[in-house]
Structure 1
């Protein structure tokens, strides 16, 4: 019988070499994946339209999700900017005491750590983007609810081209914004308005080569003053009623053609980078 420890030493040496090799492979993988440290940079709205009539209402940062994709665990961190269209928000507050608005815009940067393009052999890329899109739609619904827009239903899905020539998945939704309050009439009496304005919402999600960007907004699909006039059922023009409550500028904001808001939101969405 051979009592030499050579066999044990050989086995131990092999285990150490395997462990060292695994560690080196892991370090090499981490190095090639690449990731950003620190806070997520805020998204940039490059269109000058954002400076004309819009105001930053709020911003947020959070972890969207943390998932394992093959050998890699990916964290999705977001930073969101929330804007409202000033004239409509203030007109609704003055007329109905409303705290929300049907004219809003959101821009989000989702930072994937490690970066999407760094996943080895494309591990989980399609699944990961599907997860991001689902999270973006859910967050968009929540943001619109916070703005007072309810009953959001998806009515269309397609693609659009955004800044940098990237292709985005794009959705169109429909919902409602409630009008509920007492309004004075020109004859000095008051009456209740309990109705809802139809709302169209647009959302786009794309990968720009570094991050996932999300942009979306909502606007009335009908002039708000028309809804007010129809709700009163007194043969009184809604714009006239609003002027009697506030002034011509307020009435004009609520009488804005929905096509103008659609153009505004669409231009802002494709300008985010």
Structure 2
């Protein structure tokens, strides 16, 4: 079900690839900052045209990955669990996010004790938090989030380094209206090959009607999408997802973020949600 959202983004004014911390980052490929800015602006304007609001972080010259605002933390209602980044190149982003939230008047802010990268590895449904771990987040991060938010957490084991965050392998399409007690709510799309056998079994049990993506669409970072419950903004190269999304009643909105893909990010990585 569609509802207006509020997003946090950061212009990629200082975007570059000068280090490699995931399989997508190739130091030999040049980055076009003007193109990255243009593509990012298209995404921001797309959200606003769909009825959503966008807050913006101020870019920092020493933090080229600050554009990937989904990684800075997880906010639910008045509480924020700030990220604890896995790689030192990104440590400074956690402070930028914390300062921004405190400037917004959010006093219920906790910096994570265990490594996690915010909405990179946490996805929100009506019933649960889905929590990926294996590459960038600690196996202890799901328990920490459950204790802090008081919401059941489902831990999912990521096993393919190309899909190093949960948001590269799974997208919540509809977080679900309140339904009958005991009934699964919400729906997702995901790429099974990114998960361990046990985690795949859990996803099949929780989301029997999920959209199961092919590898070609996953490698286009098609799971790194943002849904408002009706519109699904996704990388334009993930063409195999368009008809299946329409068949399920969603409206796909393809967008080109190919320049930002050089750092291993796309639509969702650039979009933190303020709930």
TM-score (norm 1): 0.25
Q: Larger relative contact order (C-alpha < 8 A, sep ≥ 6)?
A: 2
TM-score (norm 2): 0.25
Q: Which has the higher strand share?
A: 1
